[in-house]
Structures are given as structure tokens and as C-alpha cells.
Amino acid sequence: MTKHYPDLSLLFHALADPTRRATLGRLAETPMPITALAEPTGLSLPTVMRHISVLEEAGLITSSKDGRIRTCTLVPGALAPARHWMDDHRTLWEARLDRLDAFVMNTLKEEDR
């Protein structure tokens, strides 16, 4: 059976939005101030801040403030629970599909007789 990850819903919710996924992609390259993250989106700074708070709540990024500049950093390994969940489910579904394939093949052999 699959393991239970309590924050998995937060993680998938954070990943569900294309703006947040793009933000994670940019942060994968280097830490960035929020103003730099907001530039290519065309979104207002308060809207970007809401996206940042969702990513922080999910544990995907951290932010630190130095004076008036808030810099965001990607958290290494934060996607591990999602990867583990998907791996667990892939294994489960592959086993089910293997059983279905065996059933269909046996049924076809019986019909050929």
C-alpha cells in the first residue's frame, strides 16, 4: 500500500498553477528577489506575493528579507514526497495492468481453442 504524506495536497495545489511552476523553474536556476520573479509574469506584486506564499506553505521555497528586498530560494528535495507518491502509484498500476494483460492473453488463448 502507498505511504501517507500529510502535506501532499499542499504540494500538488502549489504545482497546479502554471505561474507557480514557472516560478519554481526560474528559482531552480538561482535564488531571486520577488520583484525579479514578478517581471516576466505581468502580474501585480501582491498577486505574485500570494503565489510565493502558496509555494512557501507547500515547503517548495523559502524566502529571506534583507532590508527591503525579499529573496526566494528553491528548497532542494521538496518534490520528493510527490515523486514517492507517483512512484508508489506507478508500481501499483503497472501491477494491475500486468494482471489485465495476462487475463486478456489467457482469454484469447481460450477462444482460439
For 63, residues 6+ apart whose C-beta sits below 8 A from its C-beta are 34, 52, 56, 70, 71, 72, 73
How do residues 1-17 score in pLDDT, each as one tens digit? 445 556 899 999 999 99
pTM (2 d.p.) = 0.76
The number of CA neighbours under 13 Å toward the Cβ of 78 is: 20
8 A C-beta contact, residue 37 and residue 43: no
For 70, residues 6+ apart whose C-beta sits below 8 A from its C-beta are 33, 34, 63, 64
Phi, psi of 75 (to 5 degrees): -95, 115
How do residues 12-69 score in pLDDT, each as one tens digit? 999 999 999 999 999 999 999 999 999 999 999 999 999 999 999 999 999 999 999 9
